[in-house]
Amino acid sequence: MSVSPNISERHPVPAPPLNLDVSMPELTRALLDYESVSGNERTIADAVHTALSFCPHLHLTRDGDAIIARTEFPPLPGAEGEGAEGEGAEGERTRIILAGHLDTVPLPTVEGSLGTVPATVREEDGHSVLYGRGATDMKGGVAVQLKLAAELTAQDTDYNLTYIFYDNEEVASELSGLARLIRNHGELITDADFGVLLEPTNGTIEGGCNGTMRFFVRTRGLAAHSGRAWRGENAIHALAPALAALASYEPKTIAVEGLDYREGLNAVQISGGVAGNVIPDAAAMHVNYRFAPDKTLDEAVAHVREVFAGYELDFVDLSPAARPGLDTPLAASLIEAVGQEPQPKYGWTDVARLSEIGIPAVNFGPGDALLAHTDHEHVSFSQLTRCHADLRAWLLSDRDED
């Protein structure tokens, strides 16, 4: 069923139950009609769980507002190099993860924004485009997961598949639904051989991700009346050498397994002072460091300690980088199916969590990441259908060659 490009057409709230037997654009639009700002994913998680429960080939596990849906297909008969020789030899199927988060950032506050619930469709330059919060980040990718989960059975693919839908990706790391699933149900995740995170990549494979850390550079001073400033010590002024270090810092571009990752070290906030006539006795500069996957977390911490030698550093977020994950046969076959040169992922994504537990993973999904979190977030119909077709072709590739 196609989606009518009538911008004035609105779905009622609450959204209807999910129907997985519709077109990719229609399924994406249905997901967009569920408001699912981080911490409020219960309704969409219920809908996803209910829809998948009608797929007899899937085994479901739910943890709060996160869901694992696994196939448990029997071993492949006659798999070369596995089991006994001759007719009837069997081999375990390779297992692949397809993962995506259900939550979005808060809804736009600009009156008249096209990023609100429910979703809208527009015709732009001869192409149908779907607007709504999460269209890019990342309900288009979730729709691809759901469609494949409903379609692919043991008769269609030689792989076993693990589909992961999780909550609280857009907020503090300690709330992550994927991290919770790994802690509570690791045995259902860690047996995978490869992973695909369906974050927006404009339909191009993006390998690994930069790591990220946030910390405060803190200074201490001595409060005094500003009319007698010489009796105090200005904590804000004490940040001057740290600011100078940032201003002169030259971030590197580092090649890792053939991909060039651009680093960045930037002040993002400064605070200090209590009144207009008081010399501040404390100040803090909030710094964000994005580092390439050639570094471990400990090495990245050591680097910023060297840059800000002599300062007190207070770390509030530490997320490791992930190597590209392109040096496996599964990655090579996915690259062939997509037909485009892989690119680096500059931002941090949950491929890092998969990498930490020994699963090589890449980012690949519909939508332009530059549109994520904007008030005009949107995705084209063509990108949705192409991403689904590419992943389906990849997962069917072994079977098609038989």
Give 333's Cβ-side CA count (13 Å radius): 15
Mean pLDDT of 263-274: 97
278-279 and 312-319 beta bridge pairing: unpaired
Q: In whole angstroms, give the CA distance from residue 265 to residue 365.
A: 28
Mean pLDDT of 279-293: 97
The pLDDT assigned to 173 comes to: 87
- Read off the pLDDT of residues 181-219 as tens digits, 9 standing for 90 and up: 999 999 999 999 999 999 999 999 999 999 999 999 999
pLDDT-derived band at 1, boundaries 50, 70, 90: very low
**Residue 122 confidence (pLDDT) above 80:** yes
DSSP letters spanning 119-188: PEEEEETTEEEEESTTIIIIIHHHHHHHHHHHH--TTT-SSEEEEEEES--SS-GGG-HHHHHHHHHGGG
The pLDDT assigned to 9 comes to: 37
The pLDDT assigned to 397 comes to: 57
The pLDDT assigned to 362 comes to: 97
pLDDT-derived band at 398, boundaries 50, 70, 90: low
Beta bridge partners of 68: 61, 164
Mean pLDDT of 252-265: 96
Mean pLDDT of 87-93: 62
The pLDDT assigned to 79 comes to: 55
- Which residues have CB under 8 Å from 239's CB, separation 6+? 217, 219, 270, 272, 283, 285
Mean pLDDT of 263-281: 97
Indicate the helix (H) or strand (E) that contains 289: strand 282-291
Residue 103 catalytic?
yes
Residue with tokens 């090589």: 360
Q: In whole angstroms, give the CA distance from residue 361 to residue 199.
A: 12
pLDDT-derived band at 118, boundaries 50, 70, 90: confident
Mean pLDDT of 274-283: 96
- Read off the pLDDT of residues 46-86 as tens digits, 9 standing for 90 and up: 999 999 999 999 999 999 999 999 999 999 887 554 433 33
Cβ(100)–Cβ(169) below 8 Å:
no
Residue 317 catalytic?
no
- pTM confidence score: 0.87
What's phi and psi for 217, nearest 5 deg? Answer: -90, 115
Annotated catalytic residue within 41, 169, 350, 368: 169
Q: What is the mean pLDDT of the chain?
A: 91
The pLDDT assigned to 4 comes to: 40
**Residue 260 confidence (pLDDT) above 90:** yes
Lowest model confidence (mean pLDDT) among 13-17, 25-29, 50-54, 163-167: 13-17
**Residue 270 confidence (pLDDT) above 90:** yes
The pLDDT assigned to 373 comes to: 92
**Residue 10 confidence (pLDDT) above 80:** no
Annotated catalytic residue within 26, 35, 103, 158: 103
- Read off the pLDDT of residues 319-349 as tens digits, 9 standing for 90 and up: 999 999 999 999 999 999 999 999 999 999 9
pLDDT-derived band at 244, boundaries 50, 70, 90: very high
